[in-house]
């Protein structure tokens, strides 16, 4: 069985990573990059519209 995940990219330093949607805050809450500490709404960290849709689907 495949695990669902959301791909993220930091708008500040371009670091990429992925996390299960259940481990993330809602798309409209602040989120900080674990490398450079850039802080913005989580929706600004999603790599694609599909990643944002997956995040929203699991949150609500």
Residue 1: per-residue pLDDT: 47
Residue 8, class by beta-carbon neighbours within 10 Å (0-12 exposed, 13-18 middle, 19+ buried)? buried
pLDDT one-digit tens code per residue, 15-55: 999 999 999 999 999 999 999 999 999 999 999 999 999 99
> Taking the model in full, what pTM does it have?
0.89
Residue 59: per-residue pLDDT: 83
DSSP assignments along the chain, one per residue: -PPP-EEEE-TTT--EEEE-GGGS--TTSEEE-TTT--EEEGGGGBSSHHHHHHHHHHH-
Phi/psi of residue 50, nearest 5 degrees: -65, -45
């Amino acid at each position: 069985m495949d695990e669902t995940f959301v791909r993220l990219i930091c708008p500040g330093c371009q670091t990429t990573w992925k996390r299960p949607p259940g481990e993330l805050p809602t798309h409209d809450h602040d989120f900080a990059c674990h490398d450079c500490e850039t802080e913005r709404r989580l929706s600004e960290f999603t790599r694609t519209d599909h990643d944002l849709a997956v995040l929203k689907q699991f949150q609500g």
